[in-house]
Amino acid sequence: MVSGGSGFLGSHLCERLLADGHDVLCVDNFFTGSKANVAHLLKDPHFELMRHDITFPIYVEVDEIYNLACPASPVHYQFDPVQTTKTSVHGAINMLGLAKRLKAKILQASTSEVYGDPEVHPQPESYLGRVNPVGPRSCYDEGKRCAETLFFDYWRQHRLRIKVVRIFNTYGPRMHPNDGRVVSNFIMQALRGEDITIYGDGTQTRSFCYVDDLIEAMVGVMATPDEFTGPINIGNPQEFTIRELAEHILRLTESRSKLAFKPLPADDPKQRRPDIGLAKDVLGWSPTIELGEGLERTIRYFRGKL
């Protein structure tokens, strides 16, 4: 079962699990995901799509659960912040309850946002984070932190088989064109010939992982021995400044857009980069797709959308 399976990452994960020979139940309330993302899978007899909001209990029979359901970009998770926390927290309780009843293995799609605005670079899993509990991003950051707590309490209390994956910035085809995330924003602006909006002076850095690399690692984490719980960072440690990213996209799209600078939003981290030492050790994994190649594939997708 993949909750949030018709979203950006979820749809790629469903595809991958089907290709690996699994039966896949995709559960989604279509808040940010869409049927279009999985329409090509509907004719596969091993694929099932169910409209359901995970803040309510669900009774199905499955043996592995990937819990991805949650709006993931600030514009989406701040649209209804109470529902965001409910999805993370009540959603986790419902998914964990299901896993407990079925003795199923369960993986949580956590996030680098659990580190908040970090004082440590790159961030290892042992870093406890610097998160504002009362800011506009808190519904997401604290919701995800509480979900991790629940996973580890179910593991300690009920010996549930859990896996917690902390995902860093991931991009690729089927990202939302208007979700305000930097990669989709810049590509859409470049393709439309609009100004490229940079918040701050563009010297803040980010690392970007291509979706196929992330899915490879996620499936790898699910297959680790039961003793392995994580949390485990998955992302691409190569850092780029936001300005470099904008310039890269301008080159690849051959756009004439100009750079426009705006003030930084609240709680925006200045730098974020995963320490992927654990993923290398445990999974023998590291990202293989260069930013240029990943951006080209993503730009092709957005061109098609336009």
Q: How far is the CB of 140 from ligand NAD (least distance, A)?
A: 7
Choice between 226 and 293, CB closer to ligand NAD: 293
Could you give the CA distance from residue 175 to residue 129 in angstroms, rounded to a whole number?
27
Residue showing tokens 């490879």: 216
Choice between 4 and 231, CB closer to ligand NAD: 4
Q: How far is the CB of 256 from ligand NAD (least distance, A)?
A: 29
| One-letter amino acid for residue 72 of the chain | A
Q: How far is the CB of 37 from ligand NAD (least distance, A)?
A: 7
Footprint on this chain of ligand NAD (rule: CB under 6 A): 3-4, 6-10, 28-33, 53-55, 68-72, 87, 91, 109, 111, 167, 169-170
Choice between 2 and 160, CB closer to ligand NAD: 2
| Burial letters 51-85, b for 16+ CB under 10 A, else e | ebbbbeebeeebebbbbbbbbbbbebbeeebebbb
Q: What is the CA radius of gyration of the chain?
A: 19
Find out whether 199 and 265 touch, Cβ atoms under 8 Å.
yes
Could you give the CA distance from residue 172 to residue 174 in angstroms, rounded to a whole number?
6
Per annotation, catalytic residue among 66, 77, 115, 140: 140
Choice between 6 and 123, CB closer to ligand NAD: 6
Could you give the CA distance from residue 141 to residue 88 in angstroms, rounded to a whole number?
10
Could you give the CA distance from residue 132 to residue 138 in angstroms, rounded to a whole number?
6
Residue showing tokens 């291509």: 210
Choice between 30 and 120, CB closer to ligand NAD: 30
Give SS3 for 166.
Answer: strand
59 is catalytic: no
Q: How far is the CB of 120 from ligand NAD (least distance, A)?
A: 18
Q: Report, as residue numbers or ranges, the catalytic residues.
A: 140
